[in-house]
Amino acid sequence: MSNAELGHEQEFVDVLYAHLADLRARTEAAVTSALGREHDGTRQARVERDIVVFEQSGLLAALDAGANGLCFGRLLFRDGADHHIGRIGIRRDDAEHTPLVIDWRADVARPFYLATGHTPMGLRRRRHITTSGRRVTGLHDEILDLTDATRTGFEGSDADAVLLASLDAARTGRMHDIVQTIQAEQDRIIRAPHGGVLVVEGGPGTGKTVVALHRAAYLLYANREQLTRRVVLVVGPNPAFLGYIEDVLPSLGETGVQFATPGELFPGVTATAVDTPEAAEVKGRAAMAEVLGRFVADRQTVPETPLFIEHDDGDLYLDAAIAEAARSKARATPLPHNLARPAFASRVIDGLTEQLVDRLGADPFGGPNFLGSGEIAQLSMSVAESPAVQAAIDELWPRLTPQELIADYLAEPVYLSDEDAAAIRRPIGYDPVFGTRAAVEWTVADVPLLDEAAELLGEDDSLARALAAAERRRRIAYAQGVLDLSYGSRTQEFEDRDDEESEVLSAHDLVDAERLAERQEELDHRTSAERAAADRTWAYGHIVVDEAQELSAMAWRLLMRRSPTRSMTLVGDPAQTSEPGACGSWERILVPFVEGRWERVRLGVNYRTPTEIMEVAAEVVRAVDPGFGPPDSVRSTGVKPWSRHTADLPAAVAWAVAHEGVAPEGVAHDAVTPGAGPGDAGGADARIPVAGRVAVIAPRELIDTLATAIPHAERGVEPDLTRPLVLLDPKQAKGLEFDVVIVAEPAAFALADLYVALTRATQRLGVVHTRDLPPGLTGLVQAG
């Protein structure tokens, strides 16, 4: 093994970090000085400041992101080309600004992920560089050209060594990027074209989530202008999951991404209540769209007996004929309820004015009405301005908010069977003092109903839109000035744009005046992602949906509205579906929206769960579905899952936790000898992690009881997953992973939930139970 070779790479990495530090210092200085600079308040001065801040802030974020594990690979081509591959791209200071390290997303980096002995893609040698901080700790070379006789001593026959080392590492409670070890099947998905709907399917641990996140990073790189402006939205099942994955994109230099759970997709509403499974199922049905449409139509009424309206020019009667004619006119417009209201109102006003005209201008001798057009117009105005007339119109065609409509509907659900109506009925609460409506506690399944209501009702925002358009014109004019000046004052760092592989972008390359105008708004106020989050009608550039199999038909309607271009990556595993309202198959989800215009790809290798655990999880499913085929695990640990029967579940959970090496509060984790897990007796060459994370996964109804036995366990709606021990219900555990998992009382789990729980462990699995074990778990090693 050549220490010189390691030394060369260390020298290169040193140069790289020195360059990064220099770039960073210059960038930071530029931002600080621009922000701190006194300016005279003139447009010119503001423009100059904004140019610097705009150009440099994005670069700073990318530089910070790249600082950790900046360089991880090297490609040596047969033709002599030699490229280092990194998390971000950086160029030299030479005259040509040649690349120092290539962004992993650039085309030239692709052989790092795809080349094989059979298809070397021009490569002679591929090198994995392992670093710890800034120190090069290891090299792993693969020779792809058998005529290459050079030997460094780092050539390895096991091409998966780097991957296995990464998979065996103790978990941290946060998902990490995998740029160093993306597998070929994953790379093809990550770089699949931007347009259309791509469904990524695969069993537990096949990398669906991590691949979807890298795909988002790749798409942002390849379509930067479009996607940073339109924003990428990542939808995940719950807040804990979003916390678990939220570091991945920033670690790849991408910060302008919005994360949301399905309960957060209606701005202004936070889902705090929980539906029963039956209620969630009813609310999620596609038929609810039509039901709500009918409910809105029911609010457009005709009086059974004429409404009497006192008026200065004479009493008015708003009868069924006038209301009927007005309703037909309003419904004939293509507008939603609130926007069609003016059409209704104007026809009612015409009808009532006619009443007055007939009465006041009637010729007693049967001749033509003697009121002139001016007088009629006057009468019409006085009718329109009458508060009593307005109140009558409101009664027949009320202005409605989505919240009011859905609260009313849930208070008295119609167009459903009695059973379904009973499942979702929720009386309106009233403030005991003021008698006003109490605030509604919304559920996740209410959110798509609110969105549907917003579509049916429409919002009269014409004034707001006109103001926004005027403001936008002003900003574009201003931004044009920014760009003109920016071109004149560009720095060396940003000039280097002659080739297609450039990774560092400048204002001229990224933006036109319109785009910069939007950027200015961001600088002044919020980021694009923040603006998107606050705007129900935002059209996202790309949407990634994780655990997509869980969403209801109504939730899909909402998401499709947010993606008019239908650029989406949907990630899921139908075998892990347990939501009663879930849509079921991809066909059912997608045919109504993108029939024939979607593609499905499958990932088939489990990178998380070792063979020993996966076999057990598969047996559980096979007990009901004998043909079930789980993904193949990429590694095994030699440690068999164990079970323990007990009469005292909390005590058994506490015992299991102690045996898995999680110290109670106040005792340092290191003070407990880890690894002596109850199942180790059977393990021959067990590879045990030194430290890591343990999860106890238990049915929701047992969580409180178990918490008393393991008070040091982290739990709650949004548990901190970086803590050594967490207590979760199976829904919360979706998408997560831990070194060790203890499943409590598996007989109380739904089958899909149990499958999810059993497949969360990267190292060891134990089961504690008082009831009989479900089929598939009965053969586990008995512990204790």
Ligand X SMILES: Nc1ncnc2c1ncn2[C@@H]1O[C@H](COP(=O)(O)OP(=O)(O)OP(=O)(O)O)[C@@H](O)[C@H]1O
| DSSP type of residue 702 | G
Candidate residues 443, 578, 759, 763; the one interacting with ligand X per rule CB under 6 A: 759
Query: Per rule CB under 6 A, is residue 766 in the interface with ligand X?
Result: no
User: What dihedral angle (degrees, nearest 10) is formed by the CA atoms of 694, 697, 700, 703?
Assistant: -40
Burial code (b: 16+ CB inside 10 Å, e: under 16) for 86-103 equals bbbbbbeeeeebebbbbb
209 labelled ligand-binding: yes
| Cβ distance to ligand X smaller for residue 411 or 690 | 690
- One residue of 64, 573, 619, 714 binding ligand X per CB under 6 A: 573
Asked if residue 705 belongs to a known ligand binding site, the reply is no
Minimum distance between the CB of residue 771 and ligand X, rounded to whole angstroms? 26
CB neighbourhood size of 112 (10 A): 24
210 binds ligand X (CB under 6 A): yes
Q: Residue 93's beta-bridge partner residues?
A: none
Q: Which is nearer to ligand X, 182 or 694 (CB)?
A: 182
Which is nearer to ligand X, 608 or 715 (by Cβ)?
Answer: 608
Binder among 66, 99, 120, 205 for ligand X (CB under 6 A): 205
- Distance, in Å, from the CA atom of 440 to the CA atom of 427, rounded to the nearest integer, reads 10
CA distance linking residue 416 with residue 163, whole number of Å: 53
Residues 581-640 that bind ligand X (CB under 6 A): 607-608
735 part of the interface to ligand X, by CB under 6 A = yes
Q: Least separation, in Å, of the C-beta of 100 and ligand X?
A: 25
715: contact with ligand X by CB under 6 A? no
Pick the closest to residue 341 from 409, 400, 406, 404 (CA basis): 400
Q: Is 577 in the site for ligand X (CB under 6 A)?
A: no
| β-bridge mates for residue 259, sequence order | 234
**Contact of 70 with 17, CB cutoff 8 Å:** yes
Provide the 10 A C-beta neighbour count for residue 417: 10
Is 207 labeled as ligand-binding?
yes
- 205 annotated as ligand-binding: yes
CB of residue 735 vs ligand X: minimum separation in angstroms?
A: 4
209 interacts with ligand X by CB under 6 A: yes
User: What sign does the CA torsion over 656, 662, 667, 670 have?
Assistant: positive
Report how far Cα 422 is from the mean position of its chain's Cα atoms. Answer: 33
Residues 153-192, one symbol each (x = binds ligand X by CB under 6 A, - = not), give ----------x--xx-------x--x--xxx--x------
Lay out the site mask for ligand X across 29-68 (x = CB under 6 A, - = otherwise).
Answer: ----------------------------------------
Query: Rounded CA gap, 738 and 725, in Å?
Result: 9
541 lies in the binding site for ligand X (CB under 6 A): no
* 69 contacts ligand X (rule: CB under 6 A): no
Least CB distance from residue 603 to ligand X, whole Å?
7
Based on CB atoms, which residue is closest to ligand X, 180 or 300? 180
CB of 522: closest distance to ligand X in angstroms? Answer: 31
Q: Count other C-beta atoms under 10 Å from residue 535's C-beta.
A: 12
204 makes contact with ligand X (CB under 6 A): yes
Contact flag: residue 545 with ligand X (CB under 6 A) = no
Is residue 579 close enough to count as binding ligand X by CB under 6 A? no
Is 208 annotated as ligand-binding? Answer: yes
* 230/726 Cα distance (integer angstroms): 37
C-alpha 348/C-alpha 392 separation (Å) is: 10
State the first-to-last Cα distance of the chain, in angstroms, to the nearest integer.
46
For ligand X, give the closer residue by CB, 166 or 527: 166
User: Under a CB-based contact definition with an 8 Å cutoff, are residues 171 and 738 in contact?
Assistant: yes
Site string for ligand X, 356-375 (x = CB under 6 A): --------------------
Number of residues located near ligand X, criterion CB under 6 A: 24
**Least distance from ligand X to the Cβ atom of residue 483, Å:** 41
Residue 699 counted as an annotated binding residue: no
Q: What is 13-67 written as a DSSP string?
A: HHHHHHHHHHHHHHHHHHHHHHHH----S-HHHHHHHHHHHHHHHHHHHHHHHHT
- Contacting residues toward ligand X, per CB under 6 A: 163, 166-167, 175, 178, 181-183, 186, 202, 204-210, 573, 576, 607-608, 735, 737, 759
Residues of the binding site for ATP: 202-209
Please enumerate, by residue number, every residue annotated as part of a binding site: 202-209
